[in-house]
Copies of this chain bind each other. A is one copy, B any other.
Amino acid sequence: MPREFETSAPGFQAAFDAFLAEERAPEEDLAARVRDIVAAVRSRGDRALIDYTERFDRLTVTPETLRVPEAELEAAAAACAPETLEALRFAAARIEAYHAKQKPADALWTDDLGVRLGHRWTAVAAAGVYVPGGKAAYPSSVLMNLIPAKVAGVPRVAMVVPTPDGKTAPLVLAAAQLAGVDEVYRVGGAQAIAALAYGTETIRPVDKIVGPGNAYVAEAKRQVFGQVGIDSIAGPSEILVVADAENDPAWIAADLLSQAEHDSVAQSILITDDGRFAEAVQRAVEVHLQRLPRSEIASESWERYGAILLVKDLAAETPGLVDAIAPEHLELAVADPEALLPRIRNAGSIFLGRHTPEVLGDYLAGPNHVLPTARSARFASGLSTLDFMKRSSLLGADAQALEALGPAAIALAEAEGLQAHALSVAIRLRNRAAE
C-alpha cells in the first residue's frame, strides 16, 4: 500500500518531512574503483578502453572498430519498423522546434556613461552524450540529449553507447542518426566517460558530457567534472499528480503507473481533496497492474514509495506541498491549472489539465524529458539548449568612459589593498590627463 497522509491530521508535518527526507537510491561508494578506471584510460588511452570493454561488455574491439561506421547507423535505421521511425521523426521535429525557442540572444548596449556592455553566447566546441545500452536503451533519451546540442550549434557531438555482447538496439542508432550525431562509439561505463573527458588516440576529448547512466557512469561524471562540464546526476524518476474528483480515476492511475513502471525506486504521488476519489484511483491501479507487463516493477515502486496526500483545500494547499516535494514531473489535473501556476515555485516540468499525461512530454511534445530529480527542482532545470552554450560577458570603455568609471574603481582597489589593480586604471587616467 502506498503511504497515505492527511494534511489536517496531527503530526502531518513531521511525518511528511520524514517522507521527503527518505533516500530511495542510496549511493554506492564506487569512488575508488571508478578512480582506477579513469586513471587507466587517462594514461593508457585506447588500450585501457578496449580492455574494459572486453571485460565489462564481453565485446572485442580494436581502435578501428571502436567507432560505429555511418553504414551501420544507416543499416540500423533500415531495420526499424517504418511506423516507429515515423513516430521518431515526428518527435525529433517537435523537440527541435521547442529547443530552438530556448536559443538565447546576444546583446550589446551602451549605457549613459558611454560604457559598452553586453554578453555573447557560444556553443561548446564538442559535446559527449552517454546513452545506456542493454535493457535501458531508450531512443527517446537519445533524441532528448542530442537535439539540444545540435540546436545550440555544437559542431561536434560524440555519442557513446555500450553494446553488451555486441548487441545494440537499432532504434537507438536510428535516433542518433536522426538527431544528427557526428560520431558514435561502442563503449560505455566509467571508461567511456573517461575517454570523452580526457580523449584517447581514437576519441578526441569533448568539453561537456551529458546523459544518464548507471552508478559507475554517475560517479565517473562526478570525477571528471572540472575537466569537462557535466549535466546533473540523475536520480530515480518521480511524478506528482494533483487531481480533483472530476478526473477519471483510471486515467490518473495510469499516469501514476507510467512513472512507477520505470524503476522499482521511482516515486508516484497523488494529491487530492477527495478520499473516495483516492480510493477509486487505488482500485484502478490494482486493475491496471493486472495487465501490465512491467507490473512487478510498477507495483514495487507504488507500494514502497507511492503516496497519497489528502488535503482539505486543493487550491490553498497544493502550492506549498508542490514546492516542498519539488517534483520532477507535476501534473495539474484540475479545471483551471493556470490559476495554480503563479503560486508554484519548484517543479521540473508542469503538465496542464486533464488531457496532458506526462507521457506526452516523455516522448514528443517538445520539452526535454531530462529533468531535475530528488527534489533538485528547488535549484535546477531540465536539460536545455543553454546547457550546451556558455556566455562571455562583454565590456568596452573608451578614454571618456574610463574617466567616468576609473576613480571609483581605484577607490575600491585601494580599499582591498590591491595596488596593481589601482595602477592599471590610474596609469591610463594619468596618461589621459597628460594628453
Contacts and interface: CB of A to CB of B under 8 A. Distances in A.
A374 B419 CA distance: 24
A422 B257 CA distance: 11
A78 interface: no
A26 to B, nearest CB: 12
Interface stretch (A3-11, A116-124, A183-191): A116-124
A345 B378 contact: no
Given A402-B355, A415-B139, A97 B120 contact: no
B368 A379 contact: no
A379 B207 contact: yes
Interface stretch (A56-64, A270-278, A406-414): A406-414
Interface in A254-287: 254-255, 257-258, 260-262
A399 interface: yes
Most buried by B among A83, A86, A377, A418: A418
Contacts of A140: 412, 416
Contacts of A425: 357, 359-360
Contact of A115 (B228, B293, B365, B382): B365
Given A226-B374, A423-B288, A363 B412 contact: yes
Contacts of A408: 86-87, 90-91, 363-364
B323 A125 contact: yes
A33 interface: no
Interface of A: 81, 83-84, 86-88, 90-91, 97-98, 101-102, 107, 109, 111, 115-117, 119-120, 122-125, 138-140, 171, 207-208, 226, 228-229, 233, 248, 250-251, 254-255, 257-258, 260-262, 288, 292-294, 298, 323, 330, 337, 341, 344-353, 355-368, 371-372, 374, 376-382, 384, 386, 390-399, 401-402, 405-409, 411-413, 415-425, 427-428, 431
Q: Which 4 A-B pairs have the closest CB atoms?
A: A229-B379, A352-B396, A367-B393, A254-B424
26 contacts: A87-B407, A117-B365, A122-B345, A228-B378, A248-B427, A248-B431, A250-B427, A258-B421, A258-B424, A261-B419, A292-B420, A292-B423, A293-B419, A294-B419, A346-B390, A348-B393, A350-B394, A355-B397, A356-B402, A359-B425, A360-B405, A362-B409, A363-B408, A364-B409, A366-B395, A381-B392
Given A125-B323, A359-B424, 13 more contacts: A83-B411, A91-B408, A122-B344, A125-B346, A139-B416, A251-B427, A257-B423, A258-B421, A292-B419, A330-B392, A351-B395, A359-B422, A360-B395
